[in-house]
Amino acid sequence: MPKTLLIVEDHPLFAEALQTVIRGGMSDVRVNHASTLREARTAIQKEEQVDLILLDLWLPDTHGFDGLLELRRQFPKLPIVIVSAFANQNVIEKAMVCGAAGFIPKSAGKDALLQGITEVLAGEIVIPRGYCATASAASLQADRLRSLTRQQLRVLQMLCQGLLNKQIAFELDVGETTVKAHISEIFRKLSVCSRTQAVAEVSKLELGAVLALYAADNSGRSAHISQRTNLNSGGVKQSR
């Protein structure tokens, strides 16, 4: 059965070039195109199945990681590969923390692009050659955030919004004692001692990344990330 790819890119020439390369190099795929995040959501909902999204970071109705986070919240099991001209270490790391299945620079060559797509469809993670996943503060904090339960992440989100305990209790329809228990556990898991410190730690990832962690189905992702694929303009090489 043919795979269905959705290119989400507002630049007409680059979008057309991507479609031409993919259709010319992969005979068993269908390629659709959306110019905005809104069009992408509509296309995904109309299709019986979308197997992969190729997403630009800058669109008319979204920018940065907002589009990635929005799609991850609505379609947590759908793999999304960022295709962007902004391919520095920090951007790639944040994309992966926010749940991307891979990152392909717009400077990548045709063969690298096709092989990268093939690897992601096979369940691998694709990243540019030279990218080094470091144990940065953001990465370490992401691991700590993953240890929180969904309810604890909801409480943490509301802490970041400045809500008081009684307001959080009202929103979650629980008692204040339950909220206090959640907050104590959040502090313990994040290794902080106050609301201010908790919010400061979350800000290292941006609140959106926390929401992505809450919404996404992360089962098996840690194992997959250890089998990353290195990609450059000349081709894709899997690191073992």
184 token code pair:
């104590």
For helices 207-215 and 150-160, what crossing angle results, to 10°?
A: 160
DSSP secondary structure letters along 102-122: EEEETT--HHHHHHHHHHHHT
Least Cα distance to 190 among 218, 165, 153, 164 occurs for 153
Structural domains in the chain plus CATH codes: 3-134+219-238 (3.40.50.2300), 137-215 (1.10.10.10)
- CA distance from start to end of the chain: 30
| Model pLDDT, residue 218 | 43
pLDDT for 162 equals 86
Residue 16 pLDDT greater than 90, yes or no: yes
Residue 223 CA to its chain's centroid (Å): 16
Express as a percent the part of the chain with pLDDT over 70: 79
Cβ neighbours of residue 161 closer than 8 Å, sequence gap 6 or more: none
CA angle, corner 91, sides to 85 and 97, nearest 5?
A: 135
b (16+ CB within 10 A) / e for 86-113 = bbeeebbbbbbbbbbbbbbbbebeeebb
Greater model confidence, 224 or 44? 44
Q: What is the pLDDT of residues 20-35, one digit of tens each?
A: 999 999 988 999 999 9
Is pLDDT larger for residue 205 or for residue 150? 150
The mean pLDDT of the chain is 81
- How much of the chain, in percent, has pLDDT values that exceed 90? 45
Average pLDDT for 181-200: 85
Residue 173 token pair: 């329809």
CA dist 125 to 176, 191, 229, Å? 42, 30, 6
- The yes-or-no verdict on residue 161 having pLDDT over 70 is yes
63, amino acid identity: H
Confidence of residue 136 (pLDDT cuts 50, 70, 90): low
- Asked whether residue 78 carries a pLDDT value surpassing 80, the answer given is yes
Q: Helical H runs in 47-86?
A: 66-74
pLDDT confidence of residue 231: 47
Q: Which range has highest mean pLDDT (100-104, 203-207, 222-226)? A: 100-104
